[in-house]
Amino acid sequence: MNDYMVDLRSDTVTKPTDAMRRAMAEAEVGDDLYGEDPTAVRLEALYAEMVGKEAALFLPSGVMANQVAIRTHTKPGTWVAAGSNQHVVAFEYGGSARNAGVQFFLLDDSDGTFGLDELDAAKSTQRYWDFSLSLVCIENTHMPSGGRIWDLAKLDRLAQSVGSIPLHMDGARLFNASVASGVSVARIASGADSVMTCVSKGLGAPVGSLLAGSADFIAAARYERGVLGGQMRQVGVLAAAGIVALSTMVDRLAEDHERAKVLAAAVAERFGETASDFEIPQTNIVAFDHPQVDALSLALKSAGVLANPIGPKRMRLVTHKDLDDADIEFADKAIRNLADFGVLE
């Protein structure tokens, strides 16, 4: 095993920058439950302004931001339409059923978005049996499809087509979508009633996510965050890093996107025959189908590259700020030269 490892497991592995650590040490703080943490208040105002919403809320994680959004928008026993591979459906421990008592109406999102005709079918189902669709959720960028971006025109049509049903955008990597498409985050989120973003992923902050929406929605979400035990006290020490993340770490995401393309080319060359459903990544995630993901993950590890499967036949490589050119060159060679590995039956 190599001591040197290139970590492509996720952009969540990124460590806070020196500027973040300084800001954290110097942060002005207060008890956030009383609305007295000036740094948390500043971060929430900054995010709300960036995404063009009235208000925002700082939460400990992206999962909690999604769960709070779902609890706030819905009533128990109602249905939430979402792509079957989305984080809210497939990666949140069944949380929506437990935390909000909702059921999912699953749509095919294998290419990163879902067909609006499918959503229309879900809506018209309401006419035939007692089925109340309380929310539509989308993920932008869409992680399991390889960080794909919702096409803006399609997003606009979606916003029209949901009508009075609220639309929540899991924008854990919203800034990746913005940097790659050249469209502002406010424009991307304009049709969504609520949007959440993680500062703890590619933007490099150690902890935290933000949820934005109307002032009324955020007041209700603040209450629901409390119900889940997510209220925080002198949270300015974390919010300070989030402010640095939103103010200084966005533009450099373009570098991660270029590096993902390099790794994608290596994957295409090495696994051309076995890797299916493969496309040049739009952002920082290379995701591809492979019949032996566990063996592949082990083989990559022995070659000095850490990468995790995200499903029984789905492999993922993620680029981020804590990689440099030498790491990418190393991973590129390791993938291209990966020896044949045993097949696990």
Contact yes or no for 324/312 (Cβ under 8 A): no
| CA of residue 14 relative to chain centroid, distance | 14
List the beta strands (DSSP E) in 9-120.
Answer: 55-59, 79-83, 103-107
Residue 218: both structure tokens together: 């955020």
C-beta neighbour count of 102 within 10 angstroms: 21
- When asked if residue 62 is in the footprint of ligand TLP (CB under 6 A), the reply is yes
- When asked if residue 125 is in the footprint of ligand TLP (CB under 6 A), the reply is no
- When asked if residue 44 is in the footprint of ligand TLP (CB under 6 A), the reply is no
CB of 130 to ligand TLP, least distance (A): 31
Count of residues of this chain found to bind ligand TLP when the rule CB under 6 A is applied: 15
Looking at the Cβ atoms of 8 and 338, the one nearer to ligand TLP is: 8
Q: Of 60-68, 73-81, 130-138, 183-191, which part binds ligand TLP (CB under 6 A)?
A: 60-68
- When asked if residue 10 is in the footprint of ligand TLP (CB under 6 A), the reply is yes
Q: Of 55-63, 105-113, 116-124, 227-235, which part binds ligand TLP (CB under 6 A)?
A: 55-63
- When asked if residue 143 is in the footprint of ligand TLP (CB under 6 A), the reply is yes
- When asked if residue 200 is in the footprint of ligand TLP (CB under 6 A), the reply is yes
- When asked if residue 155 is in the footprint of ligand TLP (CB under 6 A), the reply is no
- When asked if residue 284 is in the footprint of ligand TLP (CB under 6 A), the reply is no
Residues 170-189 that bind ligand TLP (CB under 6 A): 170, 172
User: Shortest Cβ contact with ligand TLP: which residue?
Assistant: 62
Looking at the Cβ atoms of 123 and 146, the one nearer to ligand TLP is: 146
Contact yes or no for 154/113 (Cβ under 8 A): yes
- Tokens 């399609």 correspond to what residue? 154
- When asked if residue 168 is in the footprint of ligand TLP (CB under 6 A), the reply is no
| CA of residue 77 relative to chain centroid, distance | 26
Contact yes or no for 104/77 (Cβ under 8 A): no
Cα–Cα distance measured from residue 149 to residue 290, given in angstroms and rounded to the nearest whole number = 23
- When asked if residue 72 is in the footprint of ligand TLP (CB under 6 A), the reply is no
Mapping DSSP onto H, E and C, the string for 196-239 reads EEECCCCCCCCCCEEEEECHHHHHHHHHHHHHCCCCCCCCHHHH
Q: Is the sign of the CA dihedral 24, 25, 27, 33 positive or negative?
A: positive
Stretch 11-40: interaction string toward ligand TLP, x if CB under 6 A: -x----------------------------
- When asked if residue 198 is in the footprint of ligand TLP (CB under 6 A), the reply is yes
Residue 24: both structure tokens together: 């954290």
Contact yes or no for 241/26 (Cβ under 8 A): no
CB of 200 to ligand TLP, least distance (A): 5
Looking at the Cβ atoms of 170 and 327, the one nearer to ligand TLP is: 170
Applying CB under 6 A, among 53, 73, 87, 257 the residue interacting with ligand TLP is 87
Candidates 301, 306, 271, 277; CA nearest to 289 is 277
In three-state secondary structure terms, 37 is: coil
Could you list the residues that contact ligand TLP (CB under 6 A)?
10, 12, 61-63, 66, 87, 91, 139, 143, 170, 172, 198, 200, 209
